[in-house]
Amino acid sequence: MTTILFENWGPFKKEFDRLTRKFRTLPEDLERLKNVIALDPTGPSQHRIVLHRGEKACIVKGHLFCKALRRDSLRIIYAYHEDHVTIVWIEVYHKADKANEDRARITEYLQSLS
């Protein structure tokens, strides 16, 4: 099995740190998500949906289950690069704070690949 490399893009780290102050279990929850994603990054799941599938990357929106939230979850957007075997975290947000993903940020990320 190949090892998947995980990277941050843009303001992801800042958002993640801000949410970590609010939800203390978030770093541990992200590690658990990494293990799940490593099995099948874009595979079918009721907790993940492919937003964009292109030649260079596949953009996926998924649920990040957080122990601190109990029955609720955060949303996480990531890009999977099959040729590099890399996952790039693009955005993380709480559904109560924001209704949908930042489409402009996803578009900006895809343009940065060209």
Separation between Cα atoms, residue 10 and residue 89, nearest integer Å: 9
- The whole-model pTM stands at 0.92
Q: Which tens digit of pLDDT belongs to each residue from 18-47?
A: 999 999 999 999 999 999 998 888 887 888
- Binned at pLDDT 50, 70 and 90, residue 3 comes out as confident
d(CA 35, CA 37): 6
| Choice between 81 and 43, residue whose per-residue pLDDT is larger | 81
CATH code for the domain defined by 5-112: 3.30.2310.20
Q: Where are the domains of the chain?
A: 5-112
Residue 71 is predicted with a pLDDT of: 80
Query: E strands along the chain, which residues?
Result: 5-8, 48-53, 58-65, 73-81, 86-94
Give me 67's structure tokens: 């122990």
Q: Give the number of other Cβ atoms within 10 Å of residue 54's Cβ.
A: 10
